């Protein structure tokens, strides 16, 4: 990869040690002749990544999700440094970031391109999601009745607490906790998982990557909340619908050379299918 000449730092100052790590990495960058800028502001200003070669996000997965859409729009790769808990999207620990930052600046890194969902409404509200688009009752307190169409064909009508539309990247998030499948991040699919469906026959559905999904409320007095990556909300009411597709844009994530997806899943989720101690 081309050496980095300008890096934007997005720092979640609420995370323990994040500011100290940012100061250390900024000093290393400046010593190497790299231009740097920093923000603690959320949401990140839309033009913050203009003319940057990379964005170093220091925080947890939620911090990175808050930057993902503008990074994808700008075509700027993200270096994720984990100061949160799970850290699926922020693969570098503080120690690894310090040890490898000179190599990263020199362009010695790999890029993983992650798919994003694009959701849009009849009223021309649009957003991009790296993990998921979740549709619920706007008060989070009631059942919703939703119809889902795929490429113009009715899939089914759902009565449930909500619907999760997940990317492969987001399959380890809300989708997984709702009983949805684990999906390799390179798979070109969208997962639909109902939340607490009121019938045993409603299970997750995997759609092909070029599908065009449309979701509509079945009740005229229902207003829905469309949560994008748990970061931003879109409100829709009678007469409006939500269209969901895989975006033409991709998020570029900087990864360690030794990154192994299922190794991360096993470690972060303490996942093992083996039998131990004869039990």
Q: Which residues carry out catalysis?
A: 61
Task: Give the whole-angstrom CA distance, residue 215 versus residue 141.
Answer: 19
Alpha-carbon radius of gyration of the chain: 20
Q: Are 250 and 167 in contact (CB under 8 A)?
A: no
Give the end-to-end CA distance of the chain in Å, rounded to a whole number. Answer: 48
Number of residues that this document lists for the chain: 279
With H, G, I as helix, E, B as strand and everything else as coil, classify residue 186.
Answer: coil
**Quick check: 94 and 17 in contact, CB under 8 A?**
yes
Contact 49, 72 (CB under 8 A): no
Q: How far, rounded to the nearest angstrom, does the alpha carbon of residue 92 sit from its chain's CA centroid?
A: 17
Tokens for 226, please give them: 């469309």
Query: Taking Cα atoms as reference points, which of 53, 75, 51 lies closest to residue 5?
Result: 53
Ranges of H-type helices in the chain = 18-31, 61-74, 94-105, 174-177, 261-269
Residues 6+ apart with CB under 8 A from 242: 119, 120, 121, 133, 135, 214, 215, 216, 224, 226, 234, 236
| Angle of CA points 259, 94, 46, to nearest 5° | 85
Backbone phi and psi for residue 156, each to the nearest 5 degrees, phi listed first: -175, 175
């Amino acid at each position: 990869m081309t050496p980095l000449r300008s890096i934007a730092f997005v720092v979640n100052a609420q995370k323990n040690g994040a500011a100290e790590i940012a100061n250390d990495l900024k000093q290393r960058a400046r010593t190497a002749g790299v231009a740097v800028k920093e923000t603690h502001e959320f949401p990140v200003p839309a033009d913050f990544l203009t003319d940057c070669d990379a964005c170093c996000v220091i925080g947890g997965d939620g911090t990175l999700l808050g930057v993902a859409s503008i990074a994808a729009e700008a075509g700027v790769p993200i270096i994720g440094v984990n100061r949160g808990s799970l850290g699926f999207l922020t693969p570098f620990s503080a120690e690894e970031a310090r040890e490898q930052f000179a190599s990263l600046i020199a362009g010695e890194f790999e890029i993983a391109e992650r798919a994003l969902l694009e959701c849009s409404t009849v009223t021309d509200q649009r957003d991009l999601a790296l993990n998921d688009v979740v549709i619920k009752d706007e008060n989070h307190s009631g059942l919703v009745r939703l119809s889902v169409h795929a490429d113009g064909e009715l899939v089914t009508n759902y009565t449930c607490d909500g619907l999760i539309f997940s990317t492969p990247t987001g399959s380890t998030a809300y989708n997984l906790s709702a009983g949805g499948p684990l999906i390799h991040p390179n798979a070109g699919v969208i997962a639909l998982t109902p939340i607490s469906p009121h019938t045993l026959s409603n299970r997750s559905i995997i759609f092909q990557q070029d599908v065009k999904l449309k979701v509509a409320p079945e009740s005229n007095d229902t207003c829905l909340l469309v949560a994008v990556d748990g970061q931003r909300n879109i409100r829709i009411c009678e007469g409006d619908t939500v269209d969901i597709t895989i975006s033409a844009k991709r998020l570029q994530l900087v990864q360690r050379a030794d990154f192994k997806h299922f190794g991360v899943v096993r470690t972060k989720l303490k996942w093992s299918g083996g039998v131990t101690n004869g039990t």
